Amino acid sequence: MGTKGDNNRTRIIEAADMLFYKRGYNQTSFSDIADVTGIPRGNFYYYFKTKDDILAAVVEARIRHYEEALVECDNAADSPRERLLAFVDNMASSEDTLVESGCPIGSLCTELAKDTEALQSKSREVFGLLRDWMCRQFEEIGFSDANDKAMDMLARMQGVAVMASAFKDTEYLHRSIGDLRNWINSLTLN
Amino acid sequence: MGTKGDNNRTRIIEAADMLFYKRGYNQTSFSDIADVTGIPRGNFYYYFKTKDDILAAVVEARIRHYEEALVECDNAADSPRERLLAFVDNMASSEDTLVESGCPIGSLCTELAKDTEALQSKSREVFGLLRDWMCRQFEEIGFSDANDKAMDMLARMQGVAVMASAFKDTEYLHRSIGDLRNWINSLTLN
């Protein structure tokens, strides 16, 4: 059973998650989060002492979100290649927000790559989760360079997200997601 | 002949360029630029009224920088494919800073993709310059989808920069730049 405290904490995390994505981490203040949630700033210092604490909670929430998405991909198909394609479908379902605000994971990492090592390592945790999952799929297909392939797949997705959001180009994004599918299907064992 | 005024203006732009890259646009204040240049804030309002004006000047400076780099690529080789490879060599010469702070163009676009349309369109001008140059090279090779190829090449470079800087992984960057060269060499006319 959730208490009112749990509920407030969750609302703060959800608002921060949205604001970090739409405006950026550095452009989001405690006041902004208070405005969106309607929870007075004074009250929510009870849940989070610093913005870095909120970032940690947002990253944890995103990890849970992607863990669930990966379980869905695992359940969507028996073959590892089909599971990777299911993950691409997951990306394709967010075309509009990708064009508007870029990739939530990549844009946070890009922003925090210029910050302290502590914030950097926090922001890359979601990438680590996805890379490890993709690596397992490529291993199961039989690739000896499964980790390289996982990094390549993430890089392709990130590159497409950067260009689609820089040029605000949905048509490019759509074509590139098709190319990503073709690439996954074309990979053969040597 | 440069005047003292021109010199101050240039120093402000160079300091802002470095700070936007190393810390991010939103994390750079007028005070930071004053600290780096040693020019009192009061004085440099004479050159730039707003931070957006400084951004415009930084983008113009980057455009001139890349225009010069592209002329070097043009002069480096007779064949368009070799020119594209020369551009990749240019990227390879900045491996350390790419790992540390990501791509200066991509990270600025990613940051400003979450901002006003005016700042977004300013930040994407450098991408536009590179895309058009790459497009001309692919056209000269004979590709009918030269613009798509140019977007693909930029996306690959961006994806690699995002992952290298997120994971602070020089070895990955080095391997991926090799893959980029192989990709350019492998492209054949249908």
pLDDT in tens, A121-160: 888 999 999 999 999 999 999 999 999 999 999 999 999 9
Kindly indicate the confidence band of residue B188, based on its pLDDT and cuts at 50, 70 and 90.
Answer: very high
Q: Do A166 and B113 touch (CB under 8 A)?
A: yes
**Average pLDDT of the segment spanning B59-76:** 95
Q: Which tokens sit at A65?
A: 């979100």
Identify the CA nearest to B51 among candidates B34, B29, B31, B36. B29
Whether A166 and B127 lie within 8 Å, measured CB to CB: yes
Residue A26: which of B27, B155, B159 has the nearest Cβ? Answer: B27
Per the document, the length of chain B is 190
**Residue A1: per-residue pLDDT:** 44
Q: For residue B82, name the pLDDT band (cuts at 50, 70, 90).
A: very high
Residues of chain B positioned with their CB less than 8 A from the CB of A168: 120
CA-based nearest distance B160→chain A, Å: 5
Q: pLDDT tens for residues B4-51?
A: 777 999 999 999 999 999 999 999 999 999 999 999 988 878 999 999
Instruction: Name which of B162, B168, B170 to mutate to probe chain A: the one with the most chain A Cβ atoms within 10 A of its Cβ.
Output: B162
| pLDDT band, very low/low/confident/very high, at A2 (cuts 50, 70, 90) | low
Tell me which chain B residues have a C-beta less than 8 angstroms from the C-beta of A158: 158-159, 162-163
B109–chain A Cβ distance below 8 A for any pair: yes
pLDDT of residue B113: 85
> Per residue in A43-102, pLDDT tens?
878 999 999 999 999 999 999 999 999 999 999 999 999 999 999 999 999 999 999 999
Label residue B1 by pLDDT band (50, 70, 90). very low
pLDDT of residue A160: 97
Mean of the pLDDT values across residues B86-104?
A: 93
Which tokens hold the place of B109?
């676009």
Q: In this complex, is the C-beta atom of A162 within 8 Å of any C-beta atom belonging to chain B? A: yes
Mean pLDDT, residues A100-108 taken together? 91
With 70 as the cut, is the pLDDT of residue B64 above it?
A: yes
Q: Tokens 């998650």: give the residue.
A: A17
ipTM here: 0.92
**What is the C-alpha radius of gyration for chain B, rounded to an integer number of angstroms?**
18
How far B72 CA lies from chain A's nearest CA (Å)? 25
Residues A173 and A164: beta-carbon distance below 8 Å = yes
Chosen for mutation from B110, B123, B171 (greatest number of chain A CBs closer than 10 Å) is B110
Please tell me the predicted confidence (pLDDT) of residue B2.
57
Q: CB-based contact (8 Å) between A151 and chain B?
A: yes
Q: Looking at the complex, does the CB of residue B27 fall below 8 Å from at least one CB of chain A?
A: yes
3-state secondary structure chain A: CCCHHHHHHHHHHHHHHHHHHHCCCCCCCHHHHHHHHCCCHHHHCCCCCCHHHHHHHHHHHHHHHHHHHHHHHHHHCCCHHHHHHHHHHHHHCCHHHHHHHCCHHHHHHHHHCCCCHHHHHHHCHHHHHHHHHHHHHHHHHCCCCHHHHHHHHHHHHHHHHHHHHHHCCHHHHHHHHHHHHHHHHHCCCC
Kindly report the pTM of this predicted structure. Answer: 0.93
pLDDT at A119: 85
Of A115, A127, A163, nearest to B155 by CB-CB distance is: A163
Q: What is the pLDDT of residue B36?
A: 95
CA B52 to chain centre: 18
For A157, the closest chain B residue by CA position comes to B159
